[in-house]
Amino acid sequence: MATATARFLRDLSTDPAALEALANEAKEFALELGALRHTEGSPEVVTYAPFTLFPTPVPRDAFHQALEVQSHFNVLMDKISQDPRFLEDTLASTIEADDFTARLFDILKRVEKEGRTQSIVLGINRSDYMFEQSDDGTSRLKQVEINTIAAGAFGVSDNIPVIHRHILRLVGLGDQCQSIPDCNSTAGIARALAKAWQLYGQKEAVILFHVENLHFVSFNHRNLQEMLRKRGISFMRKNFESVYESGRLDSDKRLFIDGVEVAVVFHRDGFMPHHYTEKGWEAKLMMERSLAVKCPDISTHLAGTKKVQQELARPGVLEKFFPDQPQVVEQIRATFTGLYTLDMCPEGDQTVAMALDSPGNFVLKPQREGGGNNFYEDNIVRILEEVKGDARRAAYILMERIRPKVEHNVLLRRGLPIKLTPVAAELGVFGAYVRNGGEMVLNEVLGHIMRTKGIDYEDGGISRVAMYDNLIHY
């Protein structure tokens, strides 16, 4: 299946006029479907969302492996969020070295000291993977990270299979359409939000989409909001400053914004230091102290940090969360790549030496989300030479570099030349869970996304260099 598409792409690349015509057809079809994004800096001017002309070939077994393990990752994130001692012990050195993580942890301590007001927990996460190329030519699924806050790229990505099937039919490869799976993650996210809203128990209360001032992926939210509206659920969109100015807690710690009660806070912002002013930190604390269901709450936010990811890779740690479940431990651990501490200890010293000796084999990761934050090659050497002798290095972890199979595709983004490009793909699998007290009432695998970028770009999400994609089984 995948071979036929690759062969067609190679032939097409020798005919620039035909390639441009097909690309223009794909762009127009994307605009017709509503696969849109704002152009940066304008709320009124839109363009098509960046995407690939053809789907990326992915091994069927590895794809299903990612789907099958996701419900276990849902449980794992929830268990970690309920273990403040584990979070404190794991993040102790990071808190000393990274002010952003420290401020988030201060909110957790404040909430724990006051006592949690809400027993309903909603988690919507996305586990990201690459398909590592082995020496024997096979591909192995390896986790890049797990995102527990503002797990994005749903919505628009639901349209990509439709675009790819349309293009394959146009070029006479319609028989391959059956090997392109649907995404449909938005419907699952709507179910999870609706379940948390229902459990909150106030029909007049709304779901708050906590967003940036101008949220360039707001089109991702439109279908989701319409699905909620059809369920009789109202919503509002507010940024940190608006929450600070118009939000309040009543004597029962119910959250009201503009006089309207909030049942669920769906955080689409707040995962990077520059998202916050002092008013933003006050607004974050207000929301965390409130009775509203938070997605994620502060402990689940911290469960998604890179330091926690590194700690989970240590021998024996997963077993603490899944006692007497060796098969679950094996499934999760099979997705891990090498992860190493940079704490001020002999083990951390060994990590520094290993990275400086062979920087091309690793990625240096700070405690940040959203893409574009990691360091490679000479930048690893530069940073570690600067911080190797003091506690600042604990703000990072070191991850073994994943070497994915290189494919070829046409990347469609406004301003890019239309040409065949060597690319690397990343698979994201969405999961959601709702826990009511001690009972897990929902645990679902919601679907997948694919993001693809040219191999010259080492880092970066959809907002920077990656394109929406989908996969084709082989």
**One-letter amino acid identity for 255?**
L
Task: For residue 1, name the pLDDT band (cuts at 50, 70, 90).
Answer: very low
What does the pLDDT look like over 412-445, one tens digit per residue? 999 899 999 999 999 999 999 999 999 999 999 9
Residue 413 and residue 314 share a domain: yes
**pLDDT over threshold 60, residue 306:** yes
In angstroms, the CA 331 to CA 69 distance is: 6
> By C-alpha distance, which of 395, 409, 461 is closest to 145?
461
Region 265-282 average pLDDT: 96
Phi, psi of 98 (to 5 degrees): -130, 110
In angstroms, the CA 168 to CA 163 distance is: 9
Mean pLDDT of the chain: 94
In angstroms, the CA 241 to CA 10 distance is: 51
> By C-alpha distance, which of 337, 313, 474, 349 is closest to 401?
337
Residue 454 and residue 358 share a domain: no
Structure tokens at 425: 């793909």
Instruction: Report the pLDDT value the prediction gives residue 181, as an integer from 0 to 100.
Output: 96
Residue ending a domain, choose from 356, 375, 401? 401
What does the pLDDT look like over 201-251, one tens digit per residue? 999 999 999 998 655 556 778 899 999 999 999 999 999 999 999 999 999
User: Which comes out higher in pLDDT, residue 14 or 353?
Assistant: 353
**DSSP annotation string for 160-213:** HHHHHHHHHHHTT-GGGGGGS----HHHHHHHHHHHHHHHHT-TT-EEEEE--S
Domain enclosing residue 348, as ranges = 338-401
Residue 370 and residue 266 share a domain: no
% of the chain residues with pLDDT over 90: 84
What does the pLDDT look like over 382-406, one tens digit per residue? 999 999 999 999 999 999 999 998 9
Residue 11: alpha-carbon gap to chain centroid: 35
Q: How many CA within 13 A on the CB side of residue 470? A: 27
Task: For residue 41, name the pLDDT band (cuts at 50, 70, 90).
Answer: low
**DSSP annotation string for 4-34:** HHHHHHHHHTT-HHHHHHHHHHHHHHHHHHT
The residue whose two tokens read 């492996």 is 65
The CATH number linked to 355 is 3.30.1490.50
Residue ending a domain, choose from 401, 419, 451? 401
In angstroms, the CA 424 to CA 334 distance is: 21
Residue 88 and residue 76 share a domain: yes
Residue 25 and residue 78 share a domain: yes
Burial label, 414 (beta-carbon count in 10 A; 0-12, 13-18, 19+) = exposed
- What pTM does this model have? 0.95
Residue ending a domain, choose from 385, 401, 417? 401
**pLDDT over threshold 90, residue 474:** no
**DSSP annotation string for 415-466:** T----EEEEEEEEEEEEEEEEETTEEEEEEEEEEEEEEEETT--S--TTTT-
> By C-alpha distance, which of 73, 108, 117 is closest to 331?
73
Task: For residue 331, name the pLDDT band (cuts at 50, 70, 90).
Answer: very high
In angstroms, the CA 47 to CA 163 distance is: 16
When divided into structural domains, the chain yields a total of: 2
Residue 308 and residue 318 share a domain: yes
Residue 360 and residue 250 share a domain: no
Please state which of the ranges 31-35, 129-133, 290-294, 454-458 shows the lowest mean pLDDT.
454-458
Where does 202-326 show beta strands of DSSP type E? 206-210, 235-238, 247-249, 255-257, 260-267, 293-295
**pLDDT over threshold 60, residue 462:** no
What does the pLDDT look like over 183-197, one tens digit per residue? 989 999 999 999 999
